[in-house]
Amino acid sequence: MTEAEAGLQAPPTEDPTSSLIQLLNLGELEGARTDEDIFMGPSQKQPRQRVFGGQVLAQSLVAGSRTVPEGRGVHSMHGYFLRPGDANKPITFGVQRLRDGRSFSARRVHAYQEGMPILSMIASFQDEDEGIEHQTQMPAGIPDPESLPSTADLLGKYDHPVARHWAYERPFDIRHVDPALYVSAKGPKEARNAVWMRTFGPMPDDPEMHRAALAYASDYTLLESVLRKHGMSWITPGMSFASLDHAMWWHRPVRVDEWLLYVQESPSAQGARGLATGKIFSRDGRHVATVAQEGMIRVPTDFKNKVKGAVQTKVLEHQMRKADRA
């Protein structure tokens, strides 16, 4: 398959769910093999021109799943974000077949742009099996998602490319249980966060696509448990952040086009790094996945950046008041 045949044009944004499905429909390149199976996929347009980490995680899982025996689904993955990706360029995925056992397969996946790795991942796949079973209980007293505002409800009034992207172009409907941290940090300074999430439209019945899409969504809000503890929002002036690594375990079957509760907490932050963990539950209380991620979070400490941040804060406050009056 050539690059053109692999569908490397950016997916359209009119239907976010269709965009997600196209992102996960990788093309295999013929005649481009060393000790790896080679796949290619498009990048999703982003207002800041950087590849969304959840996208490359999901696509890497799809690439790995294409090389394992039929019916063998991913149960865990560990990935490191090595470099920022360019959202205007396609991504090449190299899959190395580390092992195929009677029940398990291991794959190493590297995601490349222009010959340089942007993500390195090892994933493990397993045949369905039976054994002992227990699970963490879903928290009680959580409001139903229908009672909570959507991202479009919260950000649709802002005339800003990032706000428009978050409100209308993401494939997942995200609804915060605690006050959202998009433009301000309200409520108690606690190292926890919780959201409901599902795709806006129906997804195909392929279980691996649902697992990959869940990895995509798991990167949205996990670090908010770190931010909330310190009274910070995503637009805290002068703050810089980046995901460093991402680990995930799938426990039970899941559908991402049905409401899922994502409960997050941060056990530690230090050295400009914050650690966050999350548990994902189906609406009927099944614990379907667990996630962990460490992110770099830097805030200004010198006088020059503090002054710059104060000015940015005043500008943002003015824009927010203007939007509220509109």
The three-class DSSP label of residue 2 is coil
Among 158, 59, 172, CA closest to 113? 59
The amino acid occupying position 246 is H
Strand order in the sheet with 192-199: 27-28, 36-41, 91-100, 104-113, 116-126, 73-81, 240-250, 287-298, 273-282, 260-270, 192-199, 172-176
For 205, other C-beta atoms within 10 Å of its C-beta total 8
- Helix H or strand E segment including 183: none
Which residues have CB under 8 Å from 138's CB, separation 6+?
261, 263, 281, 285, 287
Nearest-angstrom CA–CA distance, 111 and 41? 10
DSSP one-letter code for 93: E
268 noted as active-site residue: no
293 is catalytic: yes
Q: Which of 19, 46, 243, 264 is catalytic?
A: 243
Cα(3)–Cα(5) distance, integer angstroms: 5
- Cα gap 136→206, rounded to integer Å: 26
- The active-site residue, picked from 37, 43, 113, 219, is 219
Which candidate in 19, 266, 282, 293 is catalytic?
293
Distances (CA, A) of 151 to 161, 167, 169, 174: 14, 5, 11, 6
Phi/psi of residue 211, nearest 5 degrees: -65, -45
> Is 219 annotated in the active site?
yes
Active site residues: 219, 243, 293
